Amino acid sequence: MNSTDFSTTLLVDQTPKEAFDAINNVRAWWKEDMEGSSQKLNDEFSVKFGDVHYSKQKLIEVIPDTKVVWLVTDSRLTFVKDQDEWIGNQIRVDIAKQGDQTEVRFTQLGLVPEIECFTDCSNAWTFYIKNSLGSLITTGEGQPTP
């Protein structure tokens, strides 16, 4: 993991299992009408945000209550010159007990300051992780894009 890869962390009072289950419920925190499945190893799913962002992810590592890793196998970001910037990136969520709390660390390996979408993409991820996923874990209600 490169120290410049985008990463954000949140602490919740829920268990690692509750965090893990919420993370894998992508429809409830990222994109309601995603296609495919995001529950187990080798599952594939895609999300589309109008004509601005399309990406397809494959679950390449799933360790219950500990870690989930998606590989971005296809992507089109129409708001940047290199529309394939995400292809080959790994999106990794690590879950760990921190005292009485659970730490959820989200990292997109390849989303670095040198690429054009870094600011917009990292701002979007910060919202989805801190607000939507955080809310899903703590209250059972996320804030996914319809």
| Residue-wise pLDDT tens digits, 80-124 | 999 999 999 999 999 999 999 999 999 999 999 999 999 999 999
Q: Each residue of 23-65: pLDDT tens digit? A: 999 999 999 999 999 999 999 999 999 999 999 999 999 999 9
Helix (H, G, I), strand (E, B) or coil at 109: strand
Would the pTM of this model clear 0.85, i.e. be above it? yes
pLDDT at residue 2 above 80? no
Spell out where the chain has E strands. Answer: 6-12, 35-36, 44-49, 53-63, 67-77, 90-98, 101-109
Burial 68-85 (b: 16+ CB within 10 A, else e): bbbbbbebbbeebeebeb
Q: Which two tokens stand for residue 60?
A: 């390449």
For the chain, state the CA radius of gyration.
Answer: 14
- For residue 133, count CB atoms less than 10 angstroms from its CB and return exposed for 0-12, middle for 13-18, buried for 19 or more: buried
Residue 3 — pLDDT band, cuts 50, 70, 90?
confident
What is the distance between the alpha carbons of residues 83 and 78, in angstroms, rounded to a whole number?
Answer: 6
pLDDT at 135: 97
Average pLDDT taken over every residue of the chain: 96
